[in-house]
């Protein structure tokens, strides 16, 4: 029961942070940057929700669609349509890369190796140079 309450609280905080980031507004690059900052702002909750397979499974089985996932997918799709993100890889792949980089940033902040703003800058830089569309 306590665990369920903590999961719900963490999901609520993550949802609120993503809403405040307004990732559907403005150019996709700006939305992507705001998304990264928002996720790192609730990094401890991200690590709690997705760092333990048992908690992740509990989140997955609680039912209902994840509105944030749809919005993130649309952001990635806009980035691809505008030539910002590579069209040769799928939206789902880019989303997994995004989560992996954000988790790396969260772990760096949690472990004390980077301040939060430094982790945001590194994650954003890596995403922009690692999944950016290649010039032709």
pLDDT above 80 (res 5):
yes
Task: List, as one string, the DSSP characters of 48-101.
Answer: HHHSSHHHHHHHHTT-S--HHHHHHHHHHHHHHHTTSB-TTS-HHHHHHHHHHH
Q: 131 pLDDT band (50/70/90 cuts)?
A: low
pLDDT above 90 (res 69):
no
How many Cα neighbours within 13 Å face the side chain of 54?
A: 2
In a domain, 118, yes or no: yes
pLDDT above 80 (res 63):
no
| CATH code at position 50 | 1.10.357.10
In a domain, 135, yes or no: no
Query: Who has greater pLDDT, 4 or 101?
Result: 101
Give the burial string for 74-108 (b: 16+ CB within 10 Å, else e).
Answer: ebbebbbeeebbbeeeebeebeebbeebbbebbbb
Q: 101 pLDDT band (50/70/90 cuts)?
A: very high
Domain that holds residue 65: 2-130
* pLDDT for residue 76: 95
Contact between 129 and 66 (Cβ < 8 Å): no
In a domain, 75, yes or no: yes
In a domain, 7, yes or no: yes
Q: 33 pLDDT band (50/70/90 cuts)?
A: very high
């Amino acid at each position: 029961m306590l665990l369920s309450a903590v999961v719900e609280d963490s999901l609520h905080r993550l949802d609120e942070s993503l809403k405040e980031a307004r990732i559907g507004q403005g150019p996709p690059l700006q939305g992507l940057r705001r998304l990264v900052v928002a996720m790192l702002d609730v990094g401890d909750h991200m690590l709690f929700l997705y760092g333990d397979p048992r908690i992740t499974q509990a989140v997955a089985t609680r039912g209902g669609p994840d509105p944030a996932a749809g919005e993130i997918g649309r952001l990635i799709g806009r980035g691809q349509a505008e030539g910002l993100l590579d069209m040769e890889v799928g939206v789902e792949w880019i989303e997994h890369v995004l989560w992996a980089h954000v988790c790396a940033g969260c772990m760096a902040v949690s472990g004390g190796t980077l301040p939060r703003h430094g982790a945001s800058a590194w994650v954003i830089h890596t995403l922009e140079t690692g999944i950016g569309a290649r010039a032709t």
